[in-house]
Amino acid sequence: MLKRLLGKKKAERVASTTLDPNNIPRHVAIIMDGNGRWAKRRGLPRTMGHRAGAEVLKKIVRAADSVGVKALTVYGFSTENWKRPASEVSLLMNLIGEYLTGNVQDMHANNVRIRFIGHIEGLNEQLQRIIADAEALTKDNTGLMLQLAINYGGRDELVRAARYLAEKVGAGEMTAEEITEERMAQSLYTPEFSDVDLLIRPSNDFRISNFLLWQLAYAEFWFTDICWPDFTERVLFDAIRAYQQRERRFGGLKTEE
């Protein structure tokens, strides 16, 4: 067992060293999908899939930081997820609190900065306190920024930003002509790390599920049929390697040889 484990770790180190350090995506976003399907295939309750997925996130945060990713935004709970059974929603909320309580000190020690994006005020008060404490503890860290999207919806984010700017105009603090793409980006939940470079979606779904609609405008998409609980550091490096093989033109022409 130990030999197999060491072999796996060596393979992951080799995979990471084959990446071009000068072409690492600055902002990576992941839709952590497939927890329920992973559990069902194993005859386990969906809750076990969600717990396994939370464990995977710990490893991926470390791996992303190790290769120089500056921001990692993960989709933890959408505004549409409230439609799920109350027992599953409760489990997910508890898992978020447990994840933070159990890992925030380690992430702080590793210089990770934690931010939450979404309608946090719509969560229960205990979870809001845990979130606020995690953000306060890590706010001065200068390493990887981990942005957890909780009670988040891309359309809801755009509506909130539009209302904010409309209020500014109504109060005479700015004119309608001053509403630019830059102002809009700064009014979103992600003013520091807005544009996503690489979106990763596991579990063989090919949609963005109302996630970071503005920020994904020119992101590179990478899909895999691997469910999130089976996602590894090496899979992350494979996604980054695929990103590095693409030419990003942002609407321009292909670079001449």
53: tokens are 């997925």
**26: amino acid identity, one letter:** R
Q: How far apart are CA 222 and CA 99, in angstroms?
A: 26
Q: How far apart are CA 48 and CA 55, in angstroms?
A: 11
Residues tagged active-site: 33, 81
Percent of the chain with pLDDT over 70: 91
111-159 tens-digit pLDDT: 999 999 999 999 999 999 999 999 999 999 999 999 999 999 999 999 9
Q: Is the dihedral of CA 241, 244, 250, 253 positive or negative?
A: negative
Q: How far apart are CA 66 and CA 25, in angstroms?
A: 13
Low-confidence stretches of the chain (pLDDT beneath 70): 1-15, 252-257
